[in-house]
C-alpha cells in the first residue's frame, strides 16, 4: 500500500509536469503586437519570455505567404531565466508581413521608419487640441501606413520594467486621430508623403515631467541629491500614505468648496436665470479689472484699488470659488440652434452654465474651453451665462488674447467686456501631495526601459519647460540622457532631434523671458556638442500666453527636414 501511494504521487507529479509543459506558452512584450511597424534596413528584433530551455521558433512570411529569410525560420533557446531574444533578417520596406513565434501570430506588420517621441506636454498635446488652426487638413484623415504606439503613463521606483501597461499599435484613422500627439501626427504625415514609406511612432511622454525622471538611476550618480530624492519615496507604503493623505486633503477642500459656497445654497442658485445679480460689482473679462463697485472686504486692505481686480484681496490671491454672470441678447436667427461657448483658457478650473443648464467643466488651466450648447437651450432675447471658477493656488485669471464668444449657426457674440462678479467660497490651497512621476529615474524605469530592444530610426525630444529653474545643469543632463539611451538601445549613432523651446511669457516679464532664452542656449549647446544631435528651431512659433503653442505642423515639418538632412549625410 505504501509503495502504491508513492507510485500514484509520482504519476500525478509527472502528469502535472507534462500538463505544465503542454500549457507553457511564449509571451511577448506588448509592443510586439499586430499592426506594429519595424525598422527597415535593420534586423527584426524579437524577445520575450518562455520556460527555461524552451525552443522558440520564429518565421516571417510576406503578403503572398512566402517565407522571408530562412525557409524554416530561425530558432533560439530561452535562458535559465526564461528570457529569449531573436534577430531575424531585415524586411524590405512595405508589407504587410506576418510573424509567427511558436503558436503566436503577429499579423499586419509593416516595415518602414520608426521614431520615438518623448518629453513632456508639448509631445502629449493631441490633434484634438489644434483643430482651431488645422481643422480642414485634420478632418477625416486616414492612413494605414502610419501607426502609433502610445506608451501608457506609469512610474516605477524599484527596478526597470520589461513591459508596459496594456496598449496596442493603432492605425491613423479618423476614429483614433484626435487622441494622437499633434506633433507626431504632422511629422509622420509629411514624412510618409515625402518618402512613401510606412511610419511608426512610439510616443512615451508625460506632461510637466523634468528631464531627470527620464534618466536611469545609474547615470545620475553625479547628482546625489536627485538620487536621494528618489530614495525618500522608494517605500511603497510611504507613498501610499502620502497619496491617501493628499486624497483626504483634496476631498476636504472639495467639501468646503461646496458647503461654504453661498452660490450653491441660496434660495435661488447663482447659476439660475432668475437670480438677481444687480448689486454685484462689474468686472472686465479677460483683463480682470473692477470697473463698477467694490469687492466686499477688499477696501480694508491698505493699498487696495479697483485695478487690483477680483482675484486678490488687495495683497494676496484669493483661492476658492469665484462666480461670473453675463446676460447676452440673441437674435431669433441664433435661437434654438446648437451652439458653442468659447471661454479661452481659465486659471485654474471652471464649471459653466447656460440659462441654468450645466454645459461643461474643465479641471485644470491649459485646455481651451469649448463647451457645446445643445439645440433648444438658446432663446431669442436675453440668455444668461454663468461661470463658477475655481482657484486652487496662485492668482486666478482669464487668459488674455484667447477667444471668448458664443457661436450658433454662422453668427457669434463677443463675450469680452463687462461681467457681474461675486466671490463664492474662500478655501486655501491643499498643502502636501507629491507628483511621483516627477521623481528621478522613475519614468525611465516604466516608460523607456520596456522598449529599449525595439530598434528606432531616431528620437524626437521635446522637453525642458519644467527644467527652466534648473537650467544651469540642463546641457549636461541632456547629454547624459542621449548617451544613456544610445547605450541601452545598443545604437551609439541613434539620432536625437531636440525641439527648441517655443517663445513664452509676456514681453514685460523680462526675468522669465531671460531664463527661457538661457534654457534654449543650453539646448543648443547640448545638440552642438553631441554627435548626431540636431536642434530643431521652434522659438519663433511660440505664443506668449500659452505654453502649448498650436502650430505643431510647422515644427513637425522642421523635424522632417532635420531627419531628411541627417539621412542624406548618413548616405
Question: Which pLDDT belongs to residue 432?
Answer: 77
Instruction: Tell me the per-residue pLDDT of 188-228, one tens digit each, with 9 for 90 and over.
Output: 999 999 999 999 999 999 999 999 999 999 999 999 999 99
Question: Which pLDDT belongs to residue 168?
Answer: 95
Question: Which pLDDT belongs to residue 194?
Answer: 96
Closest by Cα among 271, 272, 296, 294 to 350: 271
Question: Which pLDDT belongs to residue 17?
Answer: 41
Please name the residues in contact with 370: beta carbons below 8 A apart, sequence gap of 6 or more: 340, 341, 342
Cα 31 from Cα 203, distance rounded (Å): 12
Cα 386 from Cα 374, distance rounded (Å): 16
- Cell numbers given for 206: 508625460
- Cell numbers given for 268: 435661488
Cα 437 from Cα 213, distance rounded (Å): 7
- Cell numbers given for 340: 458653442
pLDDT at residue 424 above 50?
yes
Cα 424 from Cα 311, distance rounded (Å): 12
Q: What average pLDDT does the segment 503-513 reach?
A: 95
Parallel, antiparallel or unpaired: strands 290-292 and 282-285: antiparallel
Instruction: Tell me the per-residue pLDDT of 376-400, one tens digit each, with 9 for 90 and over.
Output: 999 999 999 999 999 998 899 999 9
pLDDT at residue 5 above 50?
no
Least confident stretch, 59-73, 144-158, 531-545:
59-73
Question: Which pLDDT belongs to residue 303?
Answer: 31
Question: Which pLDDT belongs to residue 294?
Answer: 66
Please name the residues in contact with 210: beta carbons below 8 A apart, sequence gap of 6 or more: 438, 466, 467, 470
Question: Which pLDDT belongs to residue 289?
Answer: 82
Cα 475 from Cα 213, distance rounded (Å): 15
pLDDT at residue 22 above 50?
no
Question: Which pLDDT belongs to residue 277?
Answer: 97
pLDDT at residue 302 above 80?
no
Question: Which pLDDT belongs to residue 24?
Answer: 54
Cα 39 from Cα 457, distance rounded (Å): 7
Question: Which pLDDT belongs to residue 308?
Answer: 53
The secondary structure of residue 66, as a DSSP letter, is: P
Q: 179: number of CA atoms within 13 Å, CB side?
A: 11
Q: What is the 3-state secondary structure (H, E, C) of 14-43?
A: HHHHHHHHHHCCCECCCCCCCCCEEECCCC
pLDDT at residue 532 above 90?
yes
**Cβ(86)–Cβ(77) below 8 Å:** no
Q: What average pLDDT does the segment 270-298 reach?
A: 85
**Cβ(233)–Cβ(240) below 8 Å:** no
- The b-or-e profile of 462-490 (16+ CB within 10 A means b, else e) is bbbbbbbeebebbbebbbbbbebbbebbe
pLDDT at residue 373 above 60?
yes
Closest by Cα among 56, 162, 63 to 100: 56
Cα 188 from Cα 127, distance rounded (Å): 13
Question: Which pLDDT belongs to residue 183?
Answer: 98
**Cβ(101)–Cβ(436) below 8 Å:** no
Cα 368 from Cα 128, distance rounded (Å): 11
If pLDDT is split at 50, 70 and 90, which confidence band does 350 have?
A: very high
Cα 125 from Cα 180, distance rounded (Å): 8
pLDDT at residue 9 above 80?
no
Closest by Cα among 396, 419, 254, 398 to 313: 396
pLDDT at residue 360 above 70?
yes
Parallel, antiparallel or unpaired: strands 320-330 and 282-285: unpaired
Q: What is the DSSP string of 382-438?
A: EEEEEEEEEE-SS--EEPSSS-EEEEETTEEEE--EEEEEEEEEE-PPPP----GGG
Q: What percent of the chain has pLDDT over 90?
A: 86
- Cell numbers given for 357: 443648464
Least confident stretch, 24-28, 122-126, 196-200, 261-265:
24-28
Burial class (CB in 10 A: 0-12, 13-18, 19+), 335: middle
Question: Which pLDDT belongs to residue 571?
Answer: 61
Estimate the share of the chain in helix, then strand, then coil, as percent rounded to the nearest 5. Answer: 30, 30, 40
Instruction: Tell me the per-residue pLDDT of 305-333, one tens digit each, with 9 for 90 and over.
Output: 333 589 998 889 999 999 999 999 999 99
If pLDDT is split at 50, 70 and 90, which confidence band does 568 have?
A: confident
- The b-or-e profile of 93-127 (16+ CB within 10 A means b, else e) is bbbbbbbebbebebebbbbbbbbbbbbbbbbbbbb
**Which stretches of 314-452 are DSSP H helices?**
442-443
Q: Tell me the sheet residues that pair with 325.
A: 386, 420
Cα 221 from Cα 215, distance rounded (Å): 11
Question: Which pLDDT belongs to residue 15?
Answer: 42
| Residue 316: other Cβ atoms inside 10 A | 10
Place of cell 476631498: 251
Q: What is the mean pLDDT of the chain?
A: 92
Parallel, antiparallel or unpaired: strands 94-101 and 83-88: unpaired
Amino acid at each position: 500500500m505504501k509503495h502504491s501511494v508513492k507510485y500514484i504521487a509520482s504519476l500525478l507529479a509527472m502528469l502535472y509536469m507534462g500538463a505544465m509543459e503542454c500549457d507553457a506558452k511564449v509571451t511577448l512584450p506588448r509592443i510586439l503586437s499586430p499592426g506594429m511597424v519595424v525598422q527597415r534596413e535593420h534586423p527584426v528584433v524579437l524577445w520575450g519570455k518562455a520556460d527555461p530551455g524552451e525552443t522558440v521558433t520564429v518565421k516571417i512570411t510576406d503578403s503572398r505567404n512566402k517565407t522571408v529569410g530562412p525557409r524554416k525560420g530561425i530558432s533560439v533557446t530561452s535562458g535559465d531565466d526564461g528570457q529569449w531574444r531573436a534577430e531575424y533578417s531585415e524586411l524590405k520596406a512595405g508589407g504587410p508581413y506576418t510573424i509567427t513565434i511558436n503558436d503566436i501570430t503577429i499579423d499586419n506588420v509593416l516595415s518602414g521608419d520608426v521614431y520615438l517621441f518623448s518629453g513632456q506636454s508639448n509631445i502629449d498635446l493631441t490633434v484634438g487640441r489644434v483643430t482651431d488652426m488645422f481643422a480642414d487638413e485634420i478632418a477625416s484623415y486616414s492612413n494605414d501606413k502610419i501607426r502609433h504606439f502610445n506608451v501608457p503613463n506609469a512610474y516605477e521606483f524599484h527596478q526597470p520594467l520589461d513591459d508596459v501597461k496594456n496598449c496596442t499599435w493603432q492605425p491613423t484613422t479618423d476614429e483614433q486621430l484626435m487622441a494622437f500627439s499633434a506633433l507626431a501626427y504632422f511629422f509622420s504625415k509629411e514624412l510618409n508623403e515625402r518618402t512613401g514609406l510606412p511610419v511608426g511612432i512610439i510616443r512615451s511622454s508625460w506632461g510637466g515631467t523634468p528631464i531627470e525622471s527620464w534618466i536611469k538611476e545609474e547615470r545620475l550618480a553625479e547628482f546625489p541629491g536627485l538620487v536621494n530624492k528618489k530614495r525618500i519615496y522608494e517605500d511603497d507604503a510611504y507613498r501610499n500614505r502620502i497619496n491617501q493623505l493628499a486624497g483626504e486633503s483634496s476631498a476636504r477642500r472639495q467639501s468646503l468648496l461646496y458647503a461654504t459656497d453661498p452660490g450653491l445654497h441660496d434660495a435661488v442658485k447663482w447659476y439660475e436665470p432668475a437670480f438677481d445679480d444687480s448689486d454685484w460689482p462689474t468686472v472686465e473679462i479677460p483683463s480682470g479689472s473692477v470697473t463698477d463697485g467694490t469687492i466686499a472686504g477688499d477696501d480694508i486692505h491698505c493699498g487696495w484699488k479697483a485695478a487690483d481686480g477680483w482675484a486678490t484681496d488687495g495683497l494676496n490671491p484669493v483661492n476658492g470659488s469665484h462666480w461670473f454672470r453675463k446676460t447676452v441678447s440673441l437674435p431669433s436667427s441664433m435661437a434654438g440652434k446648437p451652439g458653442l461657448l468659447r471661454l479661452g483658457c481659465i486659471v485654474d478650473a471652471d464649471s459653466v452654465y447656460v440659462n441654468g443648464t450645466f454645459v461643461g467643466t474643465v479641471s485644470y488651466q491649459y485646455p481651451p474651453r469649448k463647451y457645446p450648447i445643445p439645440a433648444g437651450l438658446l432663446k431669442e432675447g436675453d440668455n444668461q451665462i454663468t461661470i463658477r471658477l475655481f482657484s486652487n493656488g496662485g492668482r486666478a485669471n482669464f487668459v488674455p488674447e484667447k477667444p471668448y464668444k458664443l457661436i450658433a449657426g454662422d453668427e457669434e457674440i463677443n463675450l469680452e467686456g463687462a461681467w457681474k462678479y461675486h466671490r463664492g467660497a474662500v478655501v486655501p490651497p491643499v498643502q502636501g501631495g507629491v507628483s511621483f512621476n516627477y521623481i528621478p529615474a522613475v519614468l525611465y524605469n516604466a516608460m523607456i526601459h520596456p522598449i529599449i530592444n525595439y530598434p528606432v530610426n531616431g528620437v524626437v525630444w521635446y522637453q525642458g519647460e519644467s527644467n527652466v529653474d534648473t537650467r544651469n545643469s540642463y546641457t549636461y543632463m541632456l547629454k547624459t540622457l542621449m548617451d544613456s539611451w544610445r547605450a541601452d538601445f545598443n545604437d551609439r549613432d541613434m539620432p536625437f532631434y531636440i525641439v527648441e523651446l517655443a517663445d513664452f511669457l509676456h514681453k514685460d516679464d523680462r526675468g522669465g523671458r531671460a531664463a527661457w532664452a538661457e534654457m534654449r542656449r543650453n539646448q543648443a549647446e547640448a545638440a552642438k556638442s553631441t554627435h548626431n544631435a540636431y536642434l530643431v528651431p521652434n522659438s519663433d512659433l511660440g505664443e506668449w500666453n500659452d505654453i502649448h503653442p498650436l502650430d505643431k505642423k510647422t515644427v513637425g515639418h522642421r523635424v522632417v527636414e532635420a531627419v531628411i538632412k541627417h539621412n542624406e549625410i548618413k548616405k
